[in-house]
Amino acid sequence: MMKKAHHLNSASETKMKAIDLVSEYGLDALAAVLHETAKEKGFWDGEYSHDKVGNKLALVHSEVTEVLEAIRKSKGSENIVEEMADVIIRLLDVYAAMRNEEEILHSLDEVLEAKINKNKERPRLHGNLF
């Protein structure tokens, strides 16, 4: 399950279909591509800052809310899943930006796998009430 650590550099690699990227290289590679798109679309114009990261994390929140609203308003399967996709896209974008700035140094693919395995060993409800 562990994906090879990889940094995308060549144009041909960044033109792979997203789903192929994930199966071949993992979420780190997908995040790098999504972040490039976000930069091209102007979402990261100006200086990188903690305020900007906070803004992008607020947008992750807003996408989670859109999932809730899509369910609440019976907007249908495709719309619900699309909003879930937005959550992932926004979060991976922030992850890639922080990796590029070397504010975070760990691979999401590696940490994700370790966390999944850790959670398997935790008790029911992870020992909490709910």
The 8 Å CB, 24+ separation contacts for 56-62 are 56/90, 56/93, 56/94, 56/97, 57/94, 59/90, 60/87, 60/90, 60/91, 60/94
Q: What binding mask, one character per residue, do residues 44-83 give for Mg ion by CB under 5 A, x or -?
A: -------------------x--x----------------x
Q: Does 86 bind Mg ion (CB under 5 A)?
A: yes
Residue 109 beta carbon to Mg ion: minimum distance, rounded to whole angstroms: 25
* Least distance CB 66 / Mg ion (angstroms): 4
Query: For residues 15 and 10, what is the distance between their CA atoms, to the nearest angstrom?
Result: 9
87 vs 81: CA distance, rounded Å: 10
Q: What is the nearest approach in angstroms of Mg ion to the Cβ of residue 113?
A: 28
Residue 93 as a binder of Mg ion (CB under 5 A): the answer is no
What does the binding site for Mg ion look like in residue numbers (CB under 5 A)? 63, 66, 83, 86
